[in-house]
Structure 1
Amino acid sequence: MHRHNLVVRFSETDMLGHVNNRNFFMYLEEARIRFFHDLELVAEEWNFILASVKCDFLKQAYFGQSLAIETYVTRIGNSSFHLHQHIKDQETDENIARGESVVIQYDFQTEKSKPMDESMRTSLEKYQMQKLKGGL
């Protein structure tokens, strides 16, 4: 599991006083990019595109709340991999939201997917887990 921590900023809340739903996608992206960098998956130039992203909202989050985003790899294909992410309250460990995404290694010159090399596959396997029963 890869873990990324953040604190909810005031600008991420809406008139209802909670984090606006669009910002959960930003949190997932922030953790996903940190995951790529920490695993050294990013070459000199960006080499991934996001094919799919989903978020289930379970509880509200508020300004000043400390959150942790846990990222797991659930599937590794030839040129793509699936990520499973949990956004949790750092103090209570309660799930706030769950996300799932499909990431493709991409050649921007040919505009096509490209196979992952063995070192990338090995790095991803260190964070691989079996998909939970019932989906996310």
Structure 2
Amino acid sequence: MSGRLVETITPRFCETDGLQHINNTVIPVWCEATREPIFEIFNPGLKMESWNLIVAGFEVKLMAPSFYGAEVRVETHISRVGNASFEVTQDLYQGDRQFAQQVTQMVHYDYQANKSCPIPEAIRAKLAELTA
């Protein structure tokens, strides 16, 4: 991995409204789906019994409408790494037009201890490869 992760999504008919716009509630779902390679860095194999991430929050900026019938490109990068948390920025495009951006705060989390825990150096190195 280097720089940005890029994935393409084909909007489904059920994600649109009567004006052929993509419903705004779909953006966080697409963003979570395209963060899967980052989840793999923390939890290879995506084993739920050893899950170690939690979403602390996210913000979606809507810049323009998006439409049914045109593929969506999601570009993902790491925009900040802290001690136990990190930030993922995802830019969404149809063609060359950016229509949304989501910034998600993620926390490396120990569910048994019920608290955050420092991000290991090996994982930090992999996150650094995705820093824009």
* Identity across the alignment (%): 29
Query: Are 1:77 and 2:82 counterparts?
Result: yes
Q: How does 1:60-99 map to 2 (within 5 A)?
A: 60-89=65-94, 92-99=95-102
Alignment match of 2:108 (pick from 105, 109, 112): 105
CA distance in 1, matches of 2:82, 2:60: 22
Q: Which runs of 5+ in 2 are unaligned?
A: none
Shift of 1:17: 2.2
SS in structure 1 opposite 2:25? helix
Query: Are 1:117 and 2:111 counterparts?
Result: no
Shift of 1:22: 0.4
Structure 2 counterpart of 1:30, one-letter code: A
Shift of 1:33: 2.3
**Residues 2 and 35, structure 1, Cα contact 8 Å, conserved in 2:** no
CA distance in 1, matches of 2:51, 2:96: 33
Q: Which runs of 5+ in 1 are unaligned?
A: 130-136
Structure 2 counterpart of 1:78, one-letter code: N
Kindly report the root-mean-square deviation, in angstroms, between the aligned alpha carbons of the 2 structures: 1.3
Alignment match of 1:24 (pick from 9, 12, 27): 27
Shift of 1:72: 1.0
CA distance in 1, matches of 2:27, 2:55: 16
Q: How does 1:22-61 map to 2 (within 5 A)?
A: 22-37=25-40, 40-43=41-44, 44=47, 45-61=50-66
Shift of 1:30: 1.0
Tell me the TM-score normalised to structure 1 length. 0.85
Tell me the TM-score normalised to structure 2 length. 0.88
SS in structure 1 opposite 2:88? strand
Counterpart residue number, 1:5: 8
**Larger RCO (alpha carbons 8 Å, 6+ apart):** 2
